[in-house]
Structure 1
Amino acid sequence: MAGQPDNVACQVPQAEIPGAKRLQRGAEMNRALIGLFSLLCLFPGLAVAAPQVSVRTALLNGDKALVGGTVTLQIDVLVDTWFTSPPQLPKLSLNGAVVTPPSGEALHLTEKAAGTTLFGLRFNYQITPLEAQVYDIPALSIRVNPGQSQQPVTVSTSAQHFSAAQPAGATAGQASLIARQVELSQTLVKSHDPLRVGDTVTRQIQTRATGAQTMLIPAPPFAEVQGLTRYVQPPSVHPLDDGRGGVIGGAREDAVVYKVSEEGRFRLPAVDMKWWGAADGQAQTASVPEVVFEAKGTAGYQAPFSMAEDLRALRHNAQVNIARHWLVIVAVLIIGAGLVYFGRTWSRTFWNRWQQRREQRRHAWLNSSEYAWQLTRQQLAAQPLRLDGLYLWVRRSSGRVDLQSFLGSRERPLLKRLQQCLQNQYGNARPDAVEAPAALLDDLQTVHRQHAPRSLPQYALKPLNPTSTHEVFDENARHATVE
Structure 2
Amino acid sequence: MKRVLITVFAAFIALTAAAQSPIVQAHLEPSHGILVGQPIRMVVTVYVPNYFTGSPDFPEFEIENAIVVLPQDRPANSNTQIDGVRYAGITETYVIYPQQAGDFHLPREQVTVPFALAPPKSTIAQVPLPALAFHADVPAAARDLDYFLPTTALTMQQKWSSPMKNLRVGDTIERTVTVTATKMQSMLIPPLSLDAPSGIRVYPEEPVIHDQKTDRGDFVYGRRTQTAKYVIQKEGDYTLPSIELKWWNLSSHRLVTATLPAVHFIAAANTNYVTELPPESEPAPIAPIRHRSLWKQYRSRILITSLCCIAVALLLAMIWYWLPRARRRLQAWQERRRHSEATYFHNLQRACTQNNAAESYVWLLKWIAVADPGVSLQQALKRADNPLLTSDTNDLGESLFAQRIQDYSWNGKRFAALLRQQRKDHRMHLSKHQYLNDLNPK
Larger RCO (CA within 8 A; separation ≥ 6) = 2
TM-score (norm 2): 0.48
The structure whose Rg is larger is 1
TM-score (norm 1): 0.44
